[in-house]
Chain A
Amino acid sequence: MGIVSPGFTGRRRGGTELPPGQYLTRDFPVLSAGPTPHVLPEHWEFTVTSETGEVYRWDWAALMALPAEEITKDIHCVTRWSKLETTWKGVSLDTLLADVETGADYVMAHSYGGYTTNVPMDDLLDGQSWIAYEYDGEPLDPEHGGPARLLVPHLYFWKSAKWVRGLVLSDTEDLGFWETAGYHEYGDPWKEQRYAGD
């Protein structure tokens, strides 16, 4: 007899397992905590600031010159929708951080428009995250975070900062926009870490 509530295990649907408490959607809901920035690629810049204050910069041409990957991943929003096998194109953070001298354990992603979210360094490396600039074969729409967004699909999707403009590396963990307002500092959908304390 099962003694574990179905809400606390993955649900199977057509052989596909969803994290607990999630439902499947086929459209792509737009969530925004502010006005949509419209940043032209020619004005776009991405920076990585190390814990010693050294700044590494890429403009759009420099990003395009880096090896890109095709990515197919399931994504899980904390508002309970999940979308399966979404396809993206982008540059791995392994590539972008390869020449950055750092021993930092924590990263704050900063976006055009002021949004922030914190992610441990270990969750950005080893093929786990990208700066994505295409979705479903098309340039990424501004409403979905274009020209480029962070993509960290193994965490709740609020961690995949839209309109990303930089990463600030740190030895200490600071909390981002939603994490300072009651959301979980890590956000593992498979552990249902929606809220601080979950």
Chain B
Amino acid sequence: MSETNYLDGNAAAGSLSELFAVDLTSAIAQCNGCGRTSVFAEAHVFVDAPGMVARCPGCDSVLLRVVTRPNDTYLDLRGLTYLRVPNS
């Protein structure tokens, strides 16, 4: 059965723009699970959930989680070895 319950990394742009001054969708992300590097826009983003979850397109490991609460936001970046962002 095909999986169509995720969006691409651009779906994370709105939430991430609240947290970061740079556009992360063009950043290069390295997965801490499998070591794959990919453009963040290629991540699989799950939004029909209590928070937003971006997963590695290679191994499905969690790259990043964002939980927006009434007064603050939890950002979990444990799944990323690094994010490489171009200097402006």
A residues lining the B interface (CB < 8 Å): 29-36, 38, 78-79, 113-114, 142-143, 158, 178, 180-183, 195
CA distance A34 to B76 in the complex (A): 16
B51 at the interface (CB under 8 A from A): yes
Assess A36 versus B46: contact at CB under 8 Å? Given A178-B51, A182-B74, A195-B70.
no
Q: Could you write out 9 A-B pairs with CB less than 8 Å apart? A: A30-B5, A32-B49, A33-B46, A35-B6, A114-B62, A158-B50, A182-B69, A183-B50, A183-B67
CB-defined contacts of B3 to chain A, threshold 8 Å: 35-36
CA distance A146 to B86 in the complex (A): 43
- Picked from B1, B6, B44, the residue with its CB within 8 Å of the CB of A38 is B1
Complex contact A35–B60 (CB within 8 A): yes
CB-defined contacts of B67 to chain A, threshold 8 Å: 178, 181-183
What distance in Å separates the Cβ of A30 from its nearest Cβ neighbour in chain B?
Answer: 7
What distance in Å separates the Cβ of A8 from its nearest Cβ neighbour in chain B?
Answer: 14
CB-defined contacts of A143 to chain B, threshold 8 Å: 5
Q: Which residue on chain B has the smallest CB distance to residue A182?
A: B74
Complex contact B76–A180 (CB within 8 A): yes
B53 at the interface (CB under 8 A from A): yes
Q: Which 4 A-B pairs have the closest CB atoms?
A: A182-B74, A182-B67, A33-B49, A33-B53
B-side interface mostly: loop
Q: Which residue on chain B has the smallest CB distance to residue A178?
A: B50
CA distance A180 to B74 in the complex (A): 9
Complex contact A32–B5 (CB within 8 A): yes
- Picked from B6, B51, B55, the residue with its CB within 8 Å of the CB of A181 is B51
Q: Which residue on chain A has the smallest CB distance to residue B51?
A: A181
What distance in Å separates the Cβ of A69 from its nearest Cβ neighbour in chain B?
Answer: 28
Q: B1-27: which residues lie under 8 A (CB-CB) from chain A?
A: 1, 3, 5-6
Q: Mark B51-73, 1 if CB is under 8 A from A, else 0.
A: 10101000010100101011010
